[in-house]
Amino acid sequence: MVRTTLACVFVIVVGMSVVARQGDRPAVYTAEQAARGKVAMRANVMAAGDNFGACSDCHSEGLGGRTGSPGEQPPVASLKPNLQKTIADAGGRIPDLVGPAFRARWANRSVKDLSLNFKDRFAMGGLSEDTRLDILAYVLSENGFPAGAEPLTMATDVTVALLSGAQAP
Ligand code: HEC
C-alpha cells in the first residue's frame, strides 16, 4: 500500500515537471563552453596532432557534414593525405553534427549518449574531458538549443528532443 502510494506520488511529480517544461526548454550548457568549443573544433586539438585534424576538416565548415558535392569547404583536396584517405574510405560521406538530420538521429537519445559517444570516440586522442564538453556545447548551440547558467557535464542527462521544445516521449 505504501509502495503504491509512493509510486503515485512519483508519477504525479514527473507529470508536473513535464508540464512545467512546456515552452520552457531545458538549457544544458553555458555560452562560455560553446565559445571555447567553437575555437577548439576548428583547431587541431588532438594530442595525436598531425595524424588527426580539426573536426571541421572532415565534418566541414559549419559541421554540416560531407556528401561529396564539389562546393564543400574546406575542399577535400586541400586536406592532409591521411584525412583525404579517411574521407575517401567513408565514400565521401561524413555525418553532419549540425542540422535537422543530426537532430532527428539523436532526438530520442540523451545528451549523455552524446557525451559518452564523444568520450569513446576520442578516448585515444588525448582530448581532455573539458574540451570534449566544450565542443559538444558548441554542437548543441549550433543546433539551436538554448544556453543557460548550468555547465554541461558528463552527468548531464536530458533527452535531446526536449532541447528542441518537444514534450517528454
Ligand atoms: C579524419 C576525419 C574526421 C575528423 C578529423 C573528425 N571526424 Fe567525426 N567522424 C568521421 C567519420 C568518418 C565519421 C562516421 C563514422 C563514425 O561514426 O566513426 C564520424 C562521426 C562522428 C560522430 C558521430 C555522428 C553521429 O551522429 O553518429 C561524431 C559525434 C563525431 N564524428 C564528432 C567529431 C568531433 C567532435 C570531431 C573533432 C574533435 C571529429 N568528429 C573529427 C571523421 C572525422
pLDDT the model gives residue 49: 54
pLDDT the model gives residue 50: 57
Number of domains in the chain: 1
Ligand 1 atom 35: residue of nearest CA: 55
The DSSP secondary structure of 39-103, one letter per residue, reads: HHHHS---TTGGGS--HHHHH-GGG--B-S-TT-SS-GGGS-HHHHHHHHHTTT-B--SSSHHHH
Neighbours of 36 (CB within 10 A): 18
Ligand 1 interacting residues, C-beta cut-off 6 A: 41, 52-53, 55, 57-59, 83, 86, 90, 94-95, 97, 102, 105, 117, 121, 135
pLDDT the model gives residue 92: 96
- What's the mean per-residue pLDDT of the chain? 85
For residue 11, is it within any domain?
no
Q: Which domain holds residue 110?
A: 25-163
C-alpha of residue 59 to centroid of ligand 1, in Å = 7
C-alpha of residue 98 to centroid of ligand 1, in Å = 12
For residue 10, is it within any domain?
no
Distance CA 164, CA 144 (A): 8
Question: Residue 8 pLDDT > 50, yes or no?
Answer: no
Ligand 1 atom 33: residue of nearest CA: 55
Distance CA 103, CA 127 (A): 24
Work out which ligand 1 atom sits closest to the CA atom of 114: 29
User: What band does 85 get if pLDDT is binned at 50, 70 and 90?
Assistant: very high
C-alpha of residue 36 to centroid of ligand 1, in Å = 19
pLDDT tens digits for 28-65?
Answer: 999 999 999 999 998 865 555 556 788 999 999 999 99
Q: What is the pTM of this model?
A: 0.86
> What residue type is 121 in one-letter code?
R
For residue 133, is it within any domain?
yes
Ligand 1 atom 23: residue of nearest CA: 95
For residue 120, is it within any domain?
yes
pLDDT tens digits for 90-122?
Answer: 999 999 999 999 999 999 999 999 999 999 998
Cell output for 84: 583525404
Mutate which of 72, 94, 108 for ligand 1 pocket (most atoms within 8 A of beta carbon): 94
Distance CA 124, CA 111 (A): 21
For 18-27, 66-75, 92-101, which range has the lowest pLDDT when averaged over its residues? 18-27
Residue 74: cis peptide before it, omega within 30 degrees of 0: yes
pLDDT tens digits for 129-148?
Answer: 999 999 999 999 999 999 99
In DSSP terms, 159 is beta-bridged to: 110
Distance CA 165, CA 167 (A): 7
> What residue type is 76 in one-letter code?
V
User: What band does 12 get if pLDDT is binned at 50, 70 and 90?
Assistant: very low
